Structure 1
Amino acid sequence: MDISLTLERRDAASAGDALRGRLSSIADDKSMLRAAAELTRDLNPPSAAVYWTDLLLSAGIGYAALALAMTLGSVGWAVVASVVAVLALYRAGSFIHEVTHIRHASLPGFRFGWNVIAGVPLLVPSFMYEGVHNLHHARTRYGTIEDPEYLPLASMKPWTLPLFILTSILAPFALIVRYGVLTPLSLVVPGMHRVLVERYSSLSINPAFRRRLPEGEAARLWWMLEGACSVWAVTLIALVATGIFPLRMVAIALAITSGVYVLNQIRTLVAHLWDNHEGDTMSVTAQYLDTVNVPPPAFLPVLWAPVGLRYHALHHLLPGLPYHSLAEAHRRLSKALGTESPYHTASYPGLPGLVARLVRSTMGKRG
């Protein structure tokens, strides 16, 4: 049985690679899309108990481990605490993805709670993703120059990959400057606020992306969250400058938060195959084939692709499905759709193979 499954996956993967060579010409597989919608209707309601419990436990463990890492005398235990802090805070921070997709009426107070617990402390308020990530899911924007979260990485130069990772190491410093220095300056420097909104207020990877100024309720929420982040960043700067926050503890905290952003950047590298080299518009099925699932039996994706991100391709089929329903949705679709369905071609065994594939692509070697 194991052998047959392996062969089926290998054959499906080969078929998928053939299709991906012409992504822009792939029509939608209506049977797959229909099955995805019909078989998962009962999975749409989010569970407040699951969301709040997961967020509070992740953040609680993360902050406790962070405090231990900064105060423990033993280097060995401090390293262990640091690793736990990175993984737990990364999981808590990853809920920004859910905040962007859920209907707020179905989870009252969760967006506010997430911002208080993780968004503001980590200096990544929800407005940095809301109004941006939805463009990535737009049928006519995905993979194009108008997609804030897409670059044709598979056809770019090999040095772009390490640079892509290295930039995330500096993220904590950049965010402190963004909110602790530039936000206060934007109150007195004409035109600076517009520049901050357009170019430095998005969790995007496309350098050509410029976001619009917020309006109405979104603008009011933006100002509230930006103000809170600015107060927090200025406080951190003052605590360091006055010596209240010792440099050793500062270095540990910065290293841990850098680890969170690096881990997220690595996950971003393998979230897609980045094969839309020409930047053409694509069908939903083509977008699915350009995106990655890393389902069980692999265990490590629980750590590096938390909060449902291991089912990223499935998420592109069903962006409104809550993260805790994705595993069951994948089980149902895997069982209902035959091996000839393109659904099976988006599943991969793990991180090493995906990274290796991307590296080979940047070196001009497909596979």
Structure 2
Amino acid sequence: MTTTLTFDATPAADAPTPKRRIADDTALLKAAAELTREYSTANPRIYWTDFLASAGIGYAALVATILAGSVGWAIAFGVVAVLALYRAESFIHELTHMKHSTVPGFRAGWNALIGVPMMVPSFMYEGVHNLHHARTRYGTVDDPEYLPLALMKPWTLPAFILIAALAPIGLIIRYAVLAPLSLLSPKLREAVVARYSGLVINPEFRRRSPEGEAKALWTKQEIAASLWAIALVALVATGVLPLRAFLIMMGIASAVAVLNQVRTLVAHLWENEGEPMTVTAQYLDSVNVPPPALLPGLWAPVGLRYHALHHLLPSVPYHNLGIAHRRLCAVLDPASPYFKANYKGLPGLMWKIGLSSITRGAKR
């Protein structure tokens, strides 16, 4: 959902040489293109097994959290629920890139089990995330998923993370209140579509109304999410769903949103000032956290630990990114720019981005 927090995006006076001036590395792009052809086929068995297991464990842990007889067990089950549901929800990223004919029914299954119950149906990402991968849009004001966070005031980083905690409340308002009311007001409907129908971080982004097949899918998903949100509110208001259970559900959903926002914070270096960048420059502004680090498998699941590589190979399914990474490491020269986007873990990345914000953003 679009944030309503507006950030000061003016670059600092002593910002480094813009990455847009970095020339494309021919050897890197050629090797990546060859791997795209070799590893671009999705494996339906991997997708369904991984997704269904994640969703099943997540919901089972959610129920266990609600029924837990002690705080200790509730916290333990809650952590499992957050991690598993976060992994299941992260498949929305794959939905935006896959050829749906290769994994039949996956979009419908994901929306039925995760998208609608979590109130993040896939239309909120499909048709939006692909703009982030457009060569002329990445890092510009037209990119829905980019802000020069490393060049902003230091307070924007904690605000960027904490605002995500309000996402579940915002989504209930979006689907239980604004969606029905927008049917009565064309002006409100226009605002809902433009400002509150995308999982974006750029407050200046305005979404266009869908057309054709995309509009039909949007309508079905929005109706389902709206009915679920209204039913959820009604169940709580009538006491059918205990308030304690509802608050636990909201808390876990909030934790999932915060975890994803932390992952988003370290997915890029956020150093571009708004100008178009070369593909290599876009890669260097993005982040890989490859093995041997283990924790990225939890906070950057479903291939998101290879986010920089994904910008080189957007059509490669998540289960092949690790193989592609190892192949590139083996064939590229050690001096290749490819290795400059690989980092060790979350603490170092947060320190790097935070330090950049403190040293450059604070001087505005």
Smaller-chain TM-score range? over 0.9
Matched, 1:329 2:352: no
Distance 2:167 2:357 in 1: 25
Deviation at 1:39, TM superposition (A): 3.4
SS at match of 1:363: helix
Which blocks of at least 5 consecutive residues in structure 2 are unaligned? 1-15
Equivalent residue number for residue 16 of structure 1: none
Matches within 5 A, 1:1-367: 21-276=17-272, 278-364=273-359
Displacement after TM superposition at 1:304 (Å):
0.1
CA distance in 2, matches of 1:250, 1:34: 51
> Is there any run of 5+ residues in structure 1 with no aligned partner, and where?
1-19
Note the alpha carbon deviations across 1:340-362, whole angstroms, 9 max, x for none. Answer: 10000000000000000111011
Give the number of equivalent residue pairs: 347
Offset of residue 42 of structure 1? 2.1
RMSD of Structure 2 on Structure 1 (CA): 1.2
On the 8 A contact 2:128/2:198 being kept in 1, the answer is yes
Mapped to 2, the partners of 1:196 and 1:161 lie a distance apart of 26
Q: Scaled by the length of structure 2, what TM-score is found?
A: 0.94
How far has the Cα of 1:190 moved from its partner? 3.0
Q: How far apart, CA to CA, are the structure 2 residues paired with 1:343 and 1:122?
A: 36
Rounded to whole Å, the distance in 1 between the matches of 2:263 and 2:153 is: 19
Tell me the SS of whatever aligns to 1:101: coil
**Aligned 8 A contact 2:152 2:360 in 1:** no
Contact map agreement 2:151 2:360 (CA 8 A) in 1? no
Contact (CA 8 Å) 2:194, 2:207: kept in 1 or not?
yes
Moved more, 38-47 or 68-77: 38-47
TM-score, normalised relative to structure 1: 0.93
Residues 237-278 of structure 1: CA deviation (Å, up to 9, x unaligned): 0011001111111111111110000000000000000010x2
Whole-angstrom CA distance in 2 between matches of 1:21 and 1:83: 42
CA pair 21-61 structure 1, distance change in 2 beyond 3 A:
same
Secondary structure at the counterpart of residue 186 of structure 2 = coil
Deviation at 1:123, TM superposition (A): 0.3
Identity of aligned residues (%): 64
After TM superposition, the runs of 4+ consecutive aligned structure 1 residues lying more than 6 A away are: none
Displacement of 1:126 after TM fit? Answer: 0.4
CA contact (8 A) 2:54 2:87 kept: yes
Contact conserved, 2:140 with 2:275, CA < 8 A, in 1? yes
Which whole-Å CA distance do the structure 2 matches of 1:331 and 1:307 have between them? 17
Q: Which moved more, 1:102-111 or 1:261-270?
A: 102-111
